[in-house]
């Protein structure tokens, strides 16, 4: 499997958030601080890799009629493990993300990659797909978190670089609207537009070669 091509798809041409528009619920809800974005992104990446590997291993054993139910059971097992690990070692992150960690079980990104890729490809290819799609998801979350935290709170890295992060804008100037739901929609819309513009430019360059 071409890792470079897979990584490019995960980051740009087939990004789970910016191109496939999957996982919108958690993307809107938790991208108010860098701490949340990194935590959710890395959790989803780990679950993607593990579930893809197991589903690929069992793809010839799982009957077609119950494959979706089987995938959900496998994903739920890994989500439970991650949830318990966060509660044990990163309780602050677990409390911050709240119900959105258990909801990874029904996250369209995880189930979509299981059905579209892991159930039809080798273990190694499925692991790479899980890694690159997870990187793309994490990158999208991190960019959204940086923009919303900076413009909405005036800080950078809250929870990562101390409880209050690094203040870059005086507390009286940030636009609080950015950390509200409407700010999430506006930020995501701008990122999607930028991603589509970049994909179009890259496609034009390839066609000219």
pLDDT for position 12: 86
Please check whether residue 51 is in contact with residue 78, taking contact to mean a CB–CB distance below 8 angstroms: yes
Q: What are phi and psi of 125, to 5 degrees?
A: -65, -40
Q: Are strands 155-156 and 166-167 parallel, antiparallel or unpaired?
A: antiparallel
Return d(Cα 93, Cα 96) in angstroms, integer: 5
Residue 182 has pLDDT above 70, yes or no: yes
Instruction: Report phi then psi at 131, rounded to 5.
Output: -65, -50
The count of domains in the chain is 1
pLDDT in tens, 20-62: 888 888 888 899 899 999 999 999 999 999 999 999 999 999 9
- Residue 63 three-state SS: coil
Task: Report the alpha-carbon distance of residue 32 to residue 165 in Å, rounded.
Answer: 13
Question: What's the pLDDT at 175?
Answer: 83
Percentage of residues in the chain having pLDDT higher than 90 = 59
* Phi-psi region at 55: left, alpha or beta (left = phi > 0; alpha = psi -120 to 50): alpha
Q: Of 5, 78, 3, 48, which is closest to residue 138 (Cα–Cα)?
A: 48
Q: Provide the residue range defining the domain that includes 173.
A: 3-208
Residue 170 reports pLDDT greater than 90: no
The count of residues in the chain is 209
Average pLDDT over every residue of 80-104: 93
Q: In the numeric block, which tokens belong to residue 112?
A: 């979509």
The residue assigned the tokens 């899980």 is 130
Residue 107 φ/ψ region, left for φ over 0, alpha for ψ in the -120 to 50 degree band, beta for the rest: beta
In the predicted structure, residue 208 carries a pLDDT above the cut 80: no
Backbone φ and ψ for 166, nearest 5 degrees, come out as -105, 120
Distance between CA 180 and CA 200 in Å, rounded? 31
| Mean of per-residue pLDDT scores for the chain | 90
Say what the pLDDT of residue 1 is. 65
What's residue 24's pLDDT?
87
167 band by pLDDT with thresholds 50, 70 and 90: confident
Instruction: Dump pLDDT digits (tens) for 126-157.
Output: 999 999 999 999 999 999 999 999 999 888 88
């Amino acid at each position: 499997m071409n890792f470079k091509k897979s990584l490019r798809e995960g980051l740009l041409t087939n990004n789970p958030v910016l191109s496939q528009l999957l996982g919108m619920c958690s993307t809107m809800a938790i991208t108010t601080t860098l701490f949340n974005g990194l935590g959710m992104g890395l959790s989803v990446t780990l679950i993607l890799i593990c579930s893809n590997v197991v589903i690929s291993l069992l793809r010839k054993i799982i009957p077609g009629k119950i494959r979706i139910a089987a995938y959900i059971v496998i994903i739920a097992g890994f989500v439970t493990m991650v949830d318990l690990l966060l509660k044990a070692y990163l309780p602050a992150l677990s409390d911050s993300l709240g119900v959105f960690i258990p909801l990874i079980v029904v996250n369209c990104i995880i189930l979509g990659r299981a059905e579209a890729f892991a159930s039809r490809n080798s273990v190694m290819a499925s692991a790479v797909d899980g890694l690159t799609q997870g990187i793309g998801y994490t990158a999208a979350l991190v960019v959204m978190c940086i923009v919303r935290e900076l413009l909405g709170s005036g800080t950078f890295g809250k929870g990562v670089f101390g409880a209050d992060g690094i203040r870059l804008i005086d507390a009286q100037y940030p636009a609080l609207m950015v950390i509200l739901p409407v700010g999430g929609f506006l930020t995501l819309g701008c990122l999607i537009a930028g991603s589509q513009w970049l994909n179009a430019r890259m496609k034009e360059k390839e066609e000219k070669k």
